[in-house]
Amino acid sequence: MFEPYRFQDLTPLFNPKSIAVVGASEKEHSIGNHTMKNIVEHSRFAGTIYPVNPKQDMVMGHKAYPDMASLPEAVDVVIVVVPAQFVKSTIEQAGEKGCGFAVILTSGFSEADDWGRAEEAALVEISKRTGIRIYGPNCPGLVNLNIPLGMSFSPAYKDDLVPGSVALATQGGGLGRNMLQHNARGMGFSIWSSSGNECDLQVADFVHYMAGDPEVKVICILVEGFKDGPRFAAAAKRAAEMGKPVIGLKVGRSAYGAAAAQSHTASITGSAEVNSTVFAQLGVIEVDDLDEAMDVAMLFTRAIPRGDEKVAVFASSGGAASLCADNVGTAGLTLSDFAPETLARLGEVLPSYAAISNPIDTTSISISQPQAFLDAIIACANDPNTDIVLAPMPMDYGIYTARGAQSMLEAQKTTDTPIVPIWFSERTGEGYHTLAEGGLVPFRSLRNMGKAVRRWIDWGTWRSGFDMAWTPLIVDQGVAAPATGTRTLTEAEGKRELAASGVPVTAPEVATSAAEAGEIAARMGGALAMKIVSARITHKSDIGGVMLNVAPADAAAAFDTIMANAGQAVPDAPLDGVLLEPMARPGGVEAFVGVARDPVFGHVMTFGLGGIYVEMFKDVTRAMLPVSQAQAMEMIGRLKSAKLLTGYRGQPPRDLEALALLVARVSDHVVAHAERIEEMDINPVWVGAEGEGALALDAVIVVRA
Amino acid sequence: MFEPYRFQDLTPLFNPKSIAVVGASEKEHSIGNHTMKNIVEHSRFAGTIYPVNPKQDMVMGHKAYPDMASLPEAVDVVIVVVPAQFVKSTIEQAGEKGCGFAVILTSGFSEADDWGRAEEAALVEISKRTGIRIYGPNCPGLVNLNIPLGMSFSPAYKDDLVPGSVALATQGGGLGRNMLQHNARGMGFSIWSSSGNECDLQVADFVHYMAGDPEVKVICILVEGFKDGPRFAAAAKRAAEMGKPVIGLKVGRSAYGAAAAQSHTASITGSAEVNSTVFAQLGVIEVDDLDEAMDVAMLFTRAIPRGDEKVAVFASSGGAASLCADNVGTAGLTLSDFAPETLARLGEVLPSYAAISNPIDTTSISISQPQAFLDAIIACANDPNTDIVLAPMPMDYGIYTARGAQSMLEAQKTTDTPIVPIWFSERTGEGYHTLAEGGLVPFRSLRNMGKAVRRWIDWGTWRSGFDMAWTPLIVDQGVAAPATGTRTLTEAEGKRELAASGVPVTAPEVATSAAEAGEIAARMGGALAMKIVSARITHKSDIGGVMLNVAPADAAAAFDTIMANAGQAVPDAPLDGVLLEPMARPGGVEAFVGVARDPVFGHVMTFGLGGIYVEMFKDVTRAMLPVSQAQAMEMIGRLKSAKLLTGYRGQPPRDLEALALLVARVSDHVVAHAERIEEMDINPVWVGAEGEGALALDAVIVVRA
């Protein structure tokens, strides 16, 4: 039986009262020395430090202990930097003693070889037995910059100490450090976890903790693979409930990336499409690169969007105004219409040759008339119709640009509307540093600005539409282990199952003789579809196992033909007879609904129109289950080919309600049998005109054997 | 009669022997003072300088003259910084004297008001009359950094003096300055033109000159609108002939951008789709942002691609290796397979836990074993299967990163294969500057890296396939002025014209009475299509003016019905009768060919499959004329829906040869009547199975009245 996710409170890990450093050393350049220095010299840690080193009495002014067993108390955090072969006994002792968390920096475990894998498994076993939770191994540790406290061997820790409200959860260390170094443009961070092999605690646990941490405004994750998909989904749901945006960059969107990530962290990278589906559904903002993650994070530290924000562009160069407006347009953003009083004020302070409607081009008065420049940006930022001011700054003009930057800081004091500079010169002069230090963290490219603002607003839209009562099936049930054997239901079996769950299907009957086929056909009347029934034959039409538009009088002969074709094509296949059902009314549109079990995120539904739309244009939409009728309507609306359903070229609008209900019923069916159902393909689904309904014409269901 | 483009040699403009500065001044902070200082103090100009100022005898140590007429010689370049009302007389004098070029920095012309527009028109008239060529007005001037010589008032000129082989042609100044400031990462520039209002010389002229300038390796343009499309096409063709890549960023890809650009420079921004078509066809590499332009330019300064380059990834962080490989994959690039000797060498120098296949992850030996790091990057860069080495550097680790950068410089000395670092930390430390100053200009983002390398390689592919004998129609004929009145040919007229040009069309006949319809139908035999003929009625089926699959016996009655429907729908329309033609064979695929006259770039063809493909998926492809049969085949291949033509789901492959020939014949027809044809829509084109041909079933041609 699956147990719902429980998340341990990680406060003692990120805000410990006592720390032991096993392997603490005074030897310069050693890992144990770097780790001690980071705590003793570069942190403001007010708790107790216990160096553990059997060869020393004191380490860096703190009394040392020979081993964990000798410590006077059970510490909150045990940092472990001893070689791999000594780690297990250390954790054993720490666990027995009742310590809360072990942060294992040491490498040489599951990422290395068979010995390491076995050793790591033993650590997990100790954790389960004693209750000590493990962070790592094979990781650079973690930092809490709001103390600051660095439980890390990184010699770079001391250089990246800008505190703030952005929390980072990464697996590897290098790319996390990259994000942290956005402090060079004024970004501040609260906590950073970089959890390496994740033998116990993982990104999901940190996201859950960050969601509840009052010092965190926005959460950024960078993952090569999710160790536990449902746990992550539960954590992301928690962040949604707490109103905190999660920004995600997932490696593995190409085969090269997936292969490299797999060899780097031994993670299952999973399907990129499924990952994007999960992110989108849980409001995790997917980004394409690290700088984009930081751009979006920065916006959230400035304001929480509603979803309908309008932007103003404030430039001092006509070219920059045009190019910025162009990016506003290509990103699908909306320029605000300035209120009359804003236009009046701008007309007053700016020269006649300036552009005062949105986008604003002050022209070179930023150089010649600094007061007018300041007055103008204040007027722009206080415009009642504007939600965010974008200020492109194409070049560094030394002192003039610095003065402009200063004006932006002053203008920001007059309003809550964020003023966001875009410093897109590669040269970062005094003006740049003025902005960074003054809290107006600049974007670094116009294109990224457009993408980031778009994502920021879209999150607001997502949040206002998200149903907090919805919980992914996998959070309730987890992901079942892949089936060792599977069985494909016959069409008749599959349709009976679906019918029992309320999915509208054709009501087929199976004839086992030509005579019976004739009787059934006569009873059904009208044109019939006839298909072979055999568990061994799935591609029925390929082997002549399907005949369409059969008149009742021809049904008996058709039975014989189909049986003969099937017998010839697959001589040893057991044939259970021939299925008969009425032909679908002509003129319908064909859709399909598929469900497959992803090894990371469980059952995911794929929906679209059939044929060329999926095959040529990849025009499909996906969702984790459960999918309600309302959610199914949204899925339909996301298709490019949705127009075909809403009345294309004089065709009648299709019965969308019925189609959405069918999709929801399919979801219900899978939810009710999630352990058993491996895969399902309902294709085609006939979609009639409004009022005519929707009907599953074929169904292939694969279940555990 | 259209005259082919002639381009004047701009050598005396960019490398003048003598310069006059009209408005030269010693008054601090004045434009005339800045301009003089830039030439006298911040340039290495070896020629003669003539300040022109009626109130001074000497300016900054040079003898001054009261006006242009008093100068002892006709100078190569006259720089004009006097107020707008004095510009015309200055140019008049300079032109009369025989001076070569006037660089007018002064503003207040066509960008300002009616007086300015009239004044600018007068300048053009003087230019035509006297032969003096005008650069500007309303611009910051131009620079030649390989001298260096700055003919500009910009106080920033002296700060941006890194020479090199990238040439810039922009309209506005701010965004050009932005590109120049990529010198902060080591980019070097040759010449930069920023031509403001472009009343005479324009971006096209500079591109043409740069194509022939031996100091230029790659040309970058940034435009809000092309003043003269054909002139630009001719210049771009010249660059192609000289083997020089042109990189283009065009503002106006959204309605906001187009509107802003129009108000900024009064340019016709033109259609973004047409612009992209022209760029693609002439090999101009279209980019999305300024930093991307510089990234692509940097690659061309390193090497000229063939089109099949393979990349190696060399990283010291597993995460960076994965994410870089991921971007390599999403950009559609190919990782090289290392040769056995490369793998052997990497195995020798790197530790066992490093990843030695592509992507390489050296792990932290970059810190602990610098020699091994150096040996490894040399082995990677000398791999015979690798064309370019991408070295992601996620973070600044101070001295360690600087040493790694130094190793890259050393490794680069051993090979011609470009080693390209990607420094994607926001913090730029010593290592960054080592790279920038050492000539290994770093990329700044992984995503941009992928896009830039893709574009670089694609240009190689384009060049190897480009037919140098091909010249755009507009270069031969220009763009005719928009027609003041137009006339739509009837379907029968249009088809007769097309047939005369060899376009396969149905052979319709027009009946003017029911009896005649019956006779024609009997002669034609088989099922017929019948359509109303009236110059006033273009949407024939909407008003009941079309009947399909008419049997010959029913043709007379159908005539009456169609005439009655048309008479009722458009009572006062003159009706010329009813067209009869055999129905197309069933089972064909429907395509369409359209031609429209773009106000900037002339006739552009649009091609695609009909119906949903164009309406829902915008699956069309465009080309400037002329289009040969071979080019038409390429256009077909670019469609996503091309599969429908090559044998989708058991359908027979279509007659692509015949379809491509039809497209080429349509092109021939428009080329032969380019002055007259405004617009053409051949829709549908019936495309039969292989050997069955292709046939234009309908044709609407709009011509000058």
Q: What architecture (CATH level 2) is domain A162-302?
A: 3-Layer(aba) Sandwich (3.40)
pLDDT in tens, A17-44: 999 999 999 999 899 999 999 999 999 9
Prediction pTM value: 0.94
Triad B507, B512, B518: Cα angle to 5°: 70
Domain with CATH 3.30.1490.20 in chain B: 507-582
Instruction: Work out the minimum CA distance from A250 to partner chain B, whole angstroms.
Output: 9
- What's the CA gap between B503 and B498, in Å, rounded? 5
Answer whether A325 sits within 8 Å of B616, measured CB to CB: no
Of residues B181, B292, B318, nearest to A426 (C-beta): B181
Answer whether A326 sits within 8 Å of B261, measured CB to CB: yes
Answer whether B317 sits within 8 Å of A155, measured CB to CB: no
pLDDT for res B521: 94
Domain with CATH 3.40.50.261 in chain A: 162-302, 305-444
Burial class (CB in 10 A: 0-12, 13-18, 19+), B523: exposed
pLDDT in tens, B190-245: 999 999 999 999 999 999 999 999 999 999 999 999 989 999 999 999 999 999 99
pLDDT in tens, B505-526: 988 899 999 999 999 999 998 8
Q: Which residue does chain B place closest to A289, by CA atoms?
A: B447
Residue B411: partners with Cβ closer than 8 Å, 6 or more residues away? B374, B377, B378, B381, B419
pLDDT in tens, A101-135: 999 999 999 988 899 999 999 999 999 999 999 99
Burial class (CB in 10 A: 0-12, 13-18, 19+), A384: exposed
pLDDT classification of A266: cutoffs 50, 70, 90: low
Q: What is the mean pLDDT of residues B358-375?
A: 91
- What's the CA gap between A54 and B331, in Å, rounded? 53
Poorest-confidence range of A84-88, A247-251, A476-480, B77-81?
A: A476-480
Q: Partners of A696 in the beta sheet?
A: A505, A685
Answer whether B318 sits within 8 Å of A174, measured CB to CB: yes
Q: Which of A153, A178, A444 to mutate to test the interface with B (most CBs of B within 10 A)?
A: A178
Residues of chain A contacting residue B174, judged by C-beta atoms under 8 Å apart: 316-320, 394-395
Pair of tokens at residue B147: 């001298």
Triad A369, A371, A377: Cα angle to 5°: 105
Residues of chain B contacting residue A612, judged by C-beta atoms under 8 Å apart: 641, 644, 648
Selected from 3.10.150.10, 3.30.1490.100, 3.30.420.40, 3.40.50.720, the CATH number assigned to the domain covering A1-152 reads: 3.40.50.720
Answer whether A322 sits within 8 Å of B397, measured CB to CB: no
pLDDT for res B468: 93
Answer whether A256 sits within 8 Å of B290, measured CB to CB: no
Triad B435, B441, B442: Cα angle to 5°: 85
Answer whether B394 sits within 8 Å of A255, measured CB to CB: no
Residue B586 has pLDDT above 90, yes or no: no
Q: What's chain A's average pLDDT?
A: 94
pLDDT in tens, A332-355: 999 999 999 999 999 999 998 899
Q: Cα B296 vs. chain centroid, distance in angstroms?
A: 14
Instruction: Work out the minimum CA distance from B364 to partner chain A, whole angstroms.
Output: 10
Residue B455 has pLDDT above 90, yes or no: yes
Q: Which residue does chain A place closest to B255, by CA atoms?
A: A329
Residue A228 has pLDDT above 60, yes or no: yes
Beta strands in A497-583 (DSSP E): 509-511, 528-533, 546-550, 577-582
> Edge to edge, what strands does the sheet with A284-286 contain?
A149-152, A141-144, A189-194, A163-170, A218-223, A246-250, A284-286
Answer whether A649 sits within 8 Å of B260, measured CB to CB: no
Of residues B175, B178, B426, nearest to A181 (C-beta): B426
The torsion angle over the Cα atoms of residues A301, A306, A309 and A315, rounded to 10 degrees, is -10
Residues of chain A contacting residue B254, judged by C-beta atoms under 8 Å apart: 325-330
- What's the CA gap between B528 and B509, in Å, rounded? 11
pLDDT for res A4: 66
Comparing C-alpha atoms, which of A366, A380, A245 is closest to residue A311?
Answer: A380
Q: What size, in residues, is chain A?
A: 705
Selected from 3.40.710.10, 3.90.1300.10, 3.40.50.261, 3.30.70.20, the CATH number assigned to the domain covering B305-444 reads: 3.40.50.261
- What's the CA gap between B682 and B328, in Å, rounded? 42
- What's the CA gap between B550 and A482, in Å, rounded? 61
Of residues B171, B183, B252, nearest to A326 (C-beta): B252
pLDDT for res B320: 95
pLDDT classification of A1: cutoffs 50, 70, 90: very low
- What's the CA gap between B392 and B409, in Å, rounded? 15
Of residues A178, A396, A427, nearest to B425 (C-beta): A178
The number of beta carbons lying within 10 Å of the beta carbon of residue A667 is 26
Residues of chain A contacting residue B264, judged by C-beta atoms under 8 Å apart: 318-319, 321-322, 355, 361
Q: What architecture (CATH level 2) is domain A507-582?
A: 2-Layer Sandwich (3.30)
pLDDT classification of A464: cutoffs 50, 70, 90: very high
Answer whether B251 sits within 8 Å of A326, measured CB to CB: yes
- What's the CA gap between A352 and A362, in Å, rounded? 10
Q: Which of A31, A115, A181, A256 to mutate to test the interface with B (most CBs of B within 10 A)?
A: A256
Q: What is the mean pLDDT of residues B103-112?
A: 93
Q: What is the DSSP string of A87-113?
A: HHHHHHHHHHHT-SEEEE----STTT-
Q: Which residue does chain A place closest to B110, by CA atoms?
A: A353
Answer whether A291 sits within 8 Å of B328, measured CB to CB: no
Residue A538: HSE in the Cβ half-sphere, 13 Å Cα cutoff = 12
The DSSP symbol for A156 reads T
Q: What is the mean pLDDT of residues A348-363?
A: 93
Answer whether A320 sits within 8 Å of B425, measured CB to CB: no
pLDDT classification of B353: cutoffs 50, 70, 90: confident
Comparing C-alpha atoms, which of B191, B193, B189 is closest to residue B173?
Answer: B193
Residue B267 has pLDDT above 70, yes or no: no
Q: What is the mean pLDDT of residues B409-435?
A: 97
pLDDT in tens, A37-81: 999 999 999 999 999 999 999 999 999 999 999 999 999 999 999
Q: What's the complex ipTM? A: 0.94
pLDDT for res B112: 86
Residue B268 has pLDDT above 80, yes or no: no
- What's the CA gap between A565 and A545, in Å, rounded? 6
At A686 the three-state DSSP class reads: strand
pLDDT classification of B4: cutoffs 50, 70, 90: low
**Fold exhibited by the domain B1-140:** Rossmann fold (3.40.50)
Phi, psi of A243 (to 5 degrees): 75, 20
Amino acid letter for position B110: S
pLDDT for res A353: 85
Helices A340-349 + A370-381 axis angle, to 10: 170
The H or E element that residue B21 is part of is strand B18-22
Look up the CATH number of domain B589-704. 3.30.470.20
Answer whether B257 sits within 8 Å of A641, measured CB to CB: no
Answer whether A173 sits within 8 Å of B290, measured CB to CB: no
Residues of chain A contacting residue B112, judged by C-beta atoms under 8 Å apart: 353
- What's the CA gap between A64 and A22, in Å, rounded? 10
Of residues A181, A252, A398, nearest to B425 (C-beta): A181
Q: What is the mean pLDDT of residues B482-487?
A: 87
Domain with CATH 3.40.50.720 in chain A: 1-152
pLDDT in tens, A185-197: 999 999 999 999 9
Q: What size, in residues, is chain B?
A: 705
Answer whether B319 sits within 8 Å of A643, measured CB to CB: no
pLDDT for res B1: 44
Answer whether B612 sits within 8 Å of A648, measured CB to CB: yes
- What's the CA gap between A563 and A577, in Å, rounded? 7
Q: What is the mean pLDDT of residues B175-190?
A: 97
Residue A615 has pLDDT above 90, yes or no: no
The DSSP symbol for A338 reads P
Of residues B170, B261, B329, nearest to A255 (C-beta): B329
Per-residue b or e along B372-411, where b marks 16 or more CB atoms closer than 10 Å to that residue's CB: bbbbbbbbbbbbeebbbbbbbbbbbbeebbbbbbbbbbeb
- 8 A C-beta contact, residue A367 and residue A397: yes
pLDDT for res A265: 67
Answer whether A264 sits within 8 Å of B361, measured CB to CB: yes
Q: Which of B29, B326, B448 to mutate to test the interface with A (most CBs of A within 10 A)?
A: B326
Residues of chain B contacting residue A197, judged by C-beta atoms under 8 Å apart: none
- What's the CA gap between A154 and A688, in Å, rounded? 64
Residue B292 has pLDDT above 70, yes or no: yes
